[in-house]
Amino acid sequence: MRRLFIICFYLSLSLTSASQNNIHFSQFYNVPLYLNPANAGNFSDLFRFNAIVRRQWSGLQAGGANDAFAMQTMGLGIDLNLGNSVGAGLMVISDQTGSAIFNTTIISPTLSKHFNFKNKRLSFGIQPSYTVAQVDVSKVRFFQLEPNDFQSSSYFDLGLGVKYIHDFDNLTFHTSFAVDHLLGAKQSFLVNGSGQEIPKQFKGALNIEWEPLPYLQFIPGYYIAWQANATNMLYGSNVAYKIPFKTPFGSPILIGGLWGRSNRANLESIIPKIGLKYASLIAMFSYDYHVNLRRDDISSFTPNNVNTIELSVIYTFKPASPPPLNEFDYILNPRF
C-alpha cells in the first residue's frame, strides 16, 4: 500500500513539475527576460529592474489544509543596455505549489545582441539557466511518505529568442518568438527514478502601440505559449492616458486593460488590469476571474471564491542614449 501511495504521489508530482516548467504570468510583458531573452537591454535607459508576484488558486482547501492547491510565483530581473547594441541581464524565478510542497528556483543569466536600422530593430538573445526543484514530503497531509524515497532535482538548460520592432511613427509593432528547454534535460524526484525529459516550451508574442492622440495610447497584444499538450493564450488590450497636470517628474500616466486567457478549447479567465506610470516607475495589478470554475464545482473545496492576483513593478533609470525608436514615453512596458 505504501508503494502505491508513492506511485500515486509521484504521478501527481510529475504533473505538477510539468506545470512548474510551464510557468505563466498574466502580465507577461512585465517579465521581459522570461518572455524572451532578446528583451535584455532592449530599452532606451541604462538599467531596468522588474519584480512580479503571482498568487494563483488561493482559497481551495483539501485534507484540512488551507490553500492546498495554491501556487505562488515570484520573479526578479535586472538588465543593462550596454551601448544600444548589446544587452545583459539576470532573472531569478521562485515557484511554490501546494502549500510549498513543491518548490522550484530558476536562475537565468541572459545576453542579447541588437541590430538597429532606420526605423527597425532586430534582436537575438541567449539564456542559459540552472533549475533546482525540491519536494517537501513533510507537508503532504493526505498520507505518510518516507522522505528517503525522494530527492531534489537540478539541471542546466538553454533558451533562445528573437525579437523584431518596426516603428511607423505613431504605430509601433513588437513581435517575438522564443524557445526554452533546448538541452533535453531530465527531471526526477524519486531516488531510484530514471527521470522524465522536459519538453520544449515555445513562446510567441505580438504587441502593437498606437498613439492616436498625444495623451492617449492603445496597446493591444497577443501571447501564446505551448509545451507538450499544454497551451496558454492571452489576448486583449491596455489603454494608457496621460493625466493633464504637471509634476516635477512629468505627468503621471494611468493604465487600464481587459484581457482574456484561454487554453486550446475554452476561455479560462477574464483579467482586468490597472496600473500607474510615474517618472521611471510602473506599477500594475491584475485579477484573474476564473469563468470556467462554476460555484457548484468547487463548493466541496472552499466556501469562498478562488483567487488569482498579480502585482508587478518596473523601474528604469539613467538614459544612456536617445531612444532608437519613437515611442510614447515607454508606457506600460519599456521595450517589453
Strand partners, 58: 307
pLDDT tens-digit readout, 161-196: 999 999 998 899 999 999 999 998 887 765 565 668
Average pLDDT over residues 119-145: 81
User: What value does the mean pLDDT take over residues 87-107?
Assistant: 88
As beta bridge partners, residue 239 has 218, 256
146 pLDDT band, cuts 50/70/90, is low
For 248-289, the pLDDT digits (tens) are 888 999 999 999 999 888 898 999 999 999 989 999 999 999
Of 336 and 216, the structure prediction assigns the larger pLDDT to 216
Among the residue ranges 91-95, 111-115, 225-229, 292-296, the one predicted with the least confidence is: 292-296
> How many C-beta neighbours within 10 Å does residue 246 have?
9
**pLDDT bucket at 13, cuts 50 / 70 / 90:** very low
Mean of pLDDT over the chain: 81
Strand (E) or helix (H) holding 261: strand 253-262
What integer pLDDT is reported at residue 3 of this predicted model? 44
For residues 233-254, give the mean pLDDT: 93
Alpha-carbon dihedral 234, 219, 35, 101, rounded to 10 degrees: -50
pLDDT for residue 245: 86
pLDDT of 11 > 60? The answer is no
pLDDT at 200: 94
Q: Which of 63-72, 98-107, 231-240 has the highest mean pLDDT?
A: 231-240
The amino acid sitting at 316 is T
State the pLDDT at residue 186. 83
| Beta bridge pairs of residue 219 | 238
Homologous superfamily assigned to 2-319: Outer membrane protein transport protein (OMPP1/FadL/TodX) (2.40.160.60)
pTM of the model: 0.82
Determine the pLDDT at residue 327: 42
d(CA 48, CA 37): 14
Q: Give pLDDT, residue 176.
A: 97
What span, in angstroms and rounded, lies between the C-alpha atoms of 125 and 143? 45
291 SS3 class: coil
pLDDT digits over 34-71, tens only? Answer: 999 999 999 988 999 999 999 987 655 554 555 556 78
Closest alpha carbon to 259 in 287, 227, 292, 218: 287
